[in-house]
């Protein structure tokens, strides 16, 4: 039996595990100082996904004026494609969504699986940042999402099928 996934607030004591995942997940990893800075912002939402008390993934979202900026989402490479990122995003939107709430993010153009995940949550491409990623000068796709009055998405696949089904 698979142990349950718990989503909770990310804490400073989680950072050694977070840094280990971050370094495996991204060619240009965030530093410890970057995570500490984001955790210290009272308006941000930083989440940890844990299994048996160990970090399986995390999410960092900062508030800038009237817009949420999804800064970082990563899942342990041994636990990818098991719904952890979906669970983290669901919790973010359960926590922060209000009608008209706006979110933005940047994602590598080559990261098709992340783009597909974000699209399932209603993010849409709105532009590019040329040469955004320092390791290889890859462009970033800028994506935006505006929350609607129906509230947070609880099952993006089901919501998509319901939109596609004839009324």
* CA distances (Å), origin 28, targets 41, 69, 135: 23, 19, 6
pLDDT digits (tens, 9 = 90+) for 127-150: 999 999 988 999 999 999 999 865
Task: Report the distance separating Cα 71 and Cα 157, nearest Å.
Answer: 24
Could you tell me which residues are beta bridge partners of residue 45? Answer: 61
Mean pLDDT of the chain: 90
What is the layout of strands, in order, in the sheet containing 54-64?
Answer: 5-9, 45-51, 54-64, 67-75, 102-108, 140-146, 124-129
pLDDT digits (tens, 9 = 90+) for 66-110: 999 999 999 999 999 889 999 999 999 999 999 999 999 999 999
Task: Report the distance separating Cα 53 and Cα 63, nearest Å.
Answer: 28
Task: Flag whether pLDDT at 2 surpasses 80.
Answer: no
Residues designated as active site = 106, 118
**Host H or E run for residue 68:** strand 67-75
Q: Which pLDDT value is given to residue 149?
A: 61
Contacts of 155 (CB under 8 A, 6+ apart): none
């Amino acid at each position: 039996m698979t142990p349950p996934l718990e989503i909770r607030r990310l804490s400073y004591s989680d950072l050694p595990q977070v840094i280990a995942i971050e370094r495996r997940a991204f060619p240009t990893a965030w530093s410890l100082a970057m995570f500490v800075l984001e955790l210290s912002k009272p308006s941000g939402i930083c989440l940890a996904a844990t299994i048996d008390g160990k970090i399986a993934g995390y999410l960092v979202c900062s508030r800038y004026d009237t817009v949420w900026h999804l800064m970082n989402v990563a899942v342990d490479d041994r636990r990818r494609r098991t719904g952890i990122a979906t669970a983290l995003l669901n919790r973010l939107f359960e926590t922060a969504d209000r009608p008209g709430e706006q979110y933005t993010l940047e994602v590598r153009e080559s990261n098709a699986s992340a783009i597909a995940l974000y699209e399932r949550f209603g993010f849409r491409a709105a532009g590019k940042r040329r040469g955004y990623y320092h390791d290889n000068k890859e462009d970033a796709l800028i994506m935006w999402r505006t929350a609607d009055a129906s509230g947070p998405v609880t099952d993006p696949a089901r919501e998509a099928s319901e939109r596609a089904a004839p009324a």
